[in-house]
Structure 1
Amino acid sequence: MIDLLHYLVERFGLVAVFAGCLAEGESAAIFGGFFAHQQVFAVWHTVAVAFAGAFLGDTALFLAGRRFADHPRVLALRARPGFSHAHGLVERHPNIFILTNRFIYGLRMVGGVAAGLSSVPVARFLALNAASALVWACIFVSLGYFFGAGAEHLIGDALVKHQRLLIGVGLAVAVMAIGLWLGHRYLRTRH
């Protein structure tokens, strides 16, 4: 079973990082960085995949807001708490908003659609989104990489591949659980 899991991570792990980064994927980027430290993935591959997922995910949200403003899914995002605040911010400070939107937990989807509904030109959004996605990918993949270094330092560098895999999966689950808990707690305090 462990051999199968290891094979799947080696074979499809970067696809999972990409898919995770299409949505709010900090944990996917951290997960990828951990495995880059364990030499399952190349670091630059992991950063490139995390960048591509983050860039394309936010671009899709922007285009959804721009092209499908009256679609039921876009209308549902517009009805979310904080949408009017995000839309006001993108209109008042478009450059800062686009550069920082992905770093604010829980605002990424709403912020992408809000940017699409704003008066920001497509070319400007794409350039700022690319810069922001690159910085984001480098930061979160690096965090995962350093988690890997910390785990190796704490446990020792005598880990075999299977133990590294289990630690990586455990860290990914822990990061996702903490993120969900913090997001839920934040939303409860806002209401």
Structure 2
Amino acid sequence: MTLQSFIENYGYFAVLLGTFLEGETVLVMAGFAAFRGYLDLPLVIAVAFAGSFLGDQLYFLLGQHKGVAILARYPRLAERATHVQSLLHKYHTLLILVIRFLYGLRIVGPVAIGMSGILWHRFLILNMVGAAVWAVVIGTLGYFFGSVLELLIADIRHYEEAILGFFLLAGLLMWAIYRWRNRGQK
């Protein structure tokens, strides 16, 4: 199986799963794959929206119902949750809209917001808008990254498997480092 066929067969599922859990690296790579013609950019954006939206809804509900227990079990998350809640008091609506853009707050943010007493339907609407903006912006950046890269490398098709492989490995390495640094926090 070639890298191209692997992406064509499993790319959308990877985008859904990746954006449900974290997101940016997977979505940038999917945008690049869309530029190369392996995936369809509007579908990448739609799947990324769904994954991001559903993930944050789940984290919000966990915060509402199990937030205290989660923070007690993972004390390092409690520090971030306190930070999110202080930001929430100052920038209520804006924070909910942009939380997925803030590094290190992607999962703990919705948990902390769920603990804050915000009504579920308010979060649902703001989360929907935020997820849509995020999916369009990050997916499109990945797509345009591909067009810039093509300008820099005259014969990108010759190098595309190496480039996609590099980004896949870089994404996995970033995820592994993140998980290692944050073990015991969630």
TM-score over 0.5 for the pair: yes
Taking the aligned partners of 2:108 and 2:71, their CA distance within structure 1 comes to 9
| Paired residue secondary structure (1:41) | coil
Unaligned runs of 5+ in 2: none
2:167 to 165, 171, 182: 171
In the superposition, relative to structure 1, how do residues 149 and 180 fare at CA in structure 2: closer, same or farther (>3 Å)?
A: farther
Question: TM-score, with normalisation over the residues of structure 2?
Answer: 0.84
Taking the aligned partners of 1:140 and 1:106, their CA distance within structure 2 comes to 17
Taking the aligned partners of 2:93 and 2:74, their CA distance within structure 1 comes to 22
Contact 2:45–2:135 (CA<8 Å) still a contact in 1?
yes
Counterpart of 1:120 in structure 2 is 118
Question: TM-score, with normalisation over the residues of structure 1?
Answer: 0.82
- Aligned AA (1:137): A
Taking the aligned partners of 1:48 and 1:107, their CA distance within structure 2 comes to 23
Unaligned runs of 5+ in 1: none
Counterpart of 2:73 in structure 1 is 76
Displacement of 1:64 in angstroms is 0.4
Taking the aligned partners of 1:50 and 1:152, their CA distance within structure 2 comes to 24
Taking the aligned partners of 1:146 and 1:173, their CA distance within structure 2 comes to 21
Contact 2:45–2:136 (CA<8 Å) still a contact in 1?
yes
Taking the aligned partners of 2:112 and 2:139, their CA distance within structure 1 comes to 27
Q: Over residues 5-40 of structure 1, what are the superposed CA-to-partner deviations in whole Å (9 max), with x where a residue is unaligned? A: 332211001111111111221001101100000010
Q: Over residues 82-113 of structure 1, what are the superposed CA-to-partner deviations in whole Å (9 max), with x where a residue is unaligned? A: 22121222244321110111111001111110
Counterpart of 2:132 in structure 1 is 134
Counterpart of 2:108 in structure 1 is 110
| Paired residue secondary structure (2:2) | helix
- Aligned AA (1:16): A
Displacement of 1:69 in angstroms is 3.0
How many pairs align? 179
| Paired residue secondary structure (1:39) | coil
In the superposition, relative to structure 1, how do residues 147 and 176 fare at CA in structure 2: closer, same or farther (>3 Å)?
A: farther
Q: Over residues 54-86 of structure 1, what are the superposed CA-to-partner deviations in whole Å (9 max), with x where a residue is unaligned? A: 111111100101122344x45335652222121
